[in-house]
Chain A
Amino acid sequence: MPGSQVLGRLLEGAGITVQVTALAVLLGTVLALAGGLAGLSSRPWVRWVVRIYVELFRGVSAIILLFWVFFALPIMLNIFLSPLHAGVLALGTNMGAYGTELVRGGIQAVPRGQSEAATALNMTYWQRLRHVVFPQALVTMLPPYGSLVIEVLKASSLVSLIALNDLMRQAQTLRVNGTASSPEIFLGVFLLYGLLAGVITLAVRLAERRFGKGLDVGRLARVVK
């Protein structure tokens, strides 16, 4: 098989990898925002629910969670989960647990006086969050968020173990069929994952620049000033 065809198959797989990663990041981000805010709730039972979610879904590890979601959860609930849904559910809830801590930490890092000043200006909870606290928290949260997204990209390779034709599984298929030499295939695999990670890093840098404008917090504060 000529090299271009091997590359074609790998790119096809990379498309699935991007799809799984994007959907899992979407789910994980929603859970992280909800969990991060709920984790700062004044109601103790809400904080406890968040605490338990974080400890369970962070502690169980992505790969064990994936197998449990794919093989055990459908039996418990008597439903069918496609490999894509199982993958997104496992990776997304796992990311959400890490992200919850990140969002909570980011919001807590904004000086209390900011929120108090907003209260003094008669702003509601959501107005304070939307216009005062979150924009400042966002800039400090972005760099670790970027690392988290790269972790999801790497963990997305696990879906190859539940028969989803992502980049990793395409490589395995090519290798087993002997259509190309292994070193050649793996070179392609590593380069594609590296490339995708590079794109994520770049996107986060751009976002930092965009959202860091006019703020004196965050990594790029001095550059923007």
Chain B
Amino acid sequence: MSGALLAQGQSQGNWDWAFAREIIPELVAGLRVTVLATLLGILVAMVLGLFLALARRSRRKLISWPVGGLVEFIRSTPLLAQLFFLYFVLPEFGIVLAPMLIGVLGLGIHYGCYTSESYRAGIESVPRGQWEAAVALNMSRAGTWRHIVLPQAIPTVIPALGNYLVAMFKEAPLLSTITVVELLAVARSIQGFTFRGLEPFTLAGLLFLAVSVPAAVLVRYLERRYQYARA
């Protein structure tokens, strides 16, 4: 608490434009890392989510139940705790990964559990008759999935994936806690060196909004357009 007081107390003063201009390039470089981690994370989440959804639908309870439980469990615990787990506990078992890789995996696994629910809904939205017709045509189970069900299920999942992309971007600054030098980490280190918190954190917030608000608006627009196209 006294440390917090000190940090806040030493950084009194008004907005300093020269200082703000000086730190913008560093913050923008950090923002690029945040965006990169998000894009890599959504790739992991898209692929993993599909496999989790398929595993959860498996007819073998020995597969579907544990996967279902794991998905629920990951969804109900904080991403921060999961990142710390990957970063601090895995090395005790001899698995040492680069912080950025851990961050991307952490984001991907956490959101993979969310996307799996969307895939599941998409798969369930495929009419039963499609399955029955595939059986009537003597298609194999794998062939039915590949040629009949997934091509119809996946397009309905795309808007949800867009929303998770935006949500994941909002959580990507958590990677600063496992030493990934992204936007928030840059702001925190500037604050640590200069004892000025006003400019770095305000600019970080504004830069963040400059990406997340247009992204959210775009996703909503695509979602609406897409729904009209389907209707």
**Which residues of A pack against B, CB within 8 Å?**
55-56, 58-65, 67-68, 70-72, 74-76, 78, 80-83, 150, 153-158, 160-163, 168, 171-172, 175, 181-183, 186, 189-190, 193-194, 197-198
Contacts and interface: CB of A to CB of B under 8 A. Distances in A.
A191 to B, nearest CB: 9
A72 B201 contact: yes
A65 to B, nearest CB: 7
B212 interface: yes
A172 B177 CA distance: 12
A193 B212 contact: no
Interface residues of B, number: 43
A157 B80 contact: yes
Contacts of B208: 59-61, 64
17 contacts: A56-B209, A58-B216, A60-B205, A63-B171, A64-B201, A68-B201, A71-B201, A72-B201, A75-B13, A154-B77, A154-B79, A157-B78, A162-B4, A183-B89, A189-B81, A190-B85, A197-B77
Contacts of B213: 55, 59
A74 B1 contact: no
B84 interface: yes
A175 B89 CA distance: 10
A79 to B, nearest CB: 9
A126 B64 CA distance: 49
B85 A186 contact: yes
B66 to A, nearest CB: 15
Contact of A60 (B7, B84, B177, B212): B212
A70 B197 CA distance: 9
Contacts of B202: 68, 72
B184 A63 contact: yes
Nearest to B202: A72
A65 B4 CA distance: 17
Contacts of A175: 88
Contacts of B54: none
Interface string B123-162: 0000000000000000000000000000000000000000
B12 A59 contact: no
B177 A161 contact: yes
Contacts of A60: 205, 208-209, 212
Given A72-B202, A75-B11, 10 more contacts: A64-B208, A67-B188, A71-B197, A82-B1, A157-B78, A158-B174, A168-B78, A168-B80, A182-B89, A198-B76
B218 to A, nearest CB: 12
Nearest to B92: A182
A192 to B, nearest CB: 9
A181 B4 CA distance: 29
A163 B4 contact: yes
Nearest to A61: B170
B187 interface: yes
B204 interface: yes
Contacts of B92: 181-183
Nearest to B188: A67
Nearest to B199: A72
B6 to A, nearest CB: 12
Contacts of A182: 88-89, 92
A61 B84 contact: no
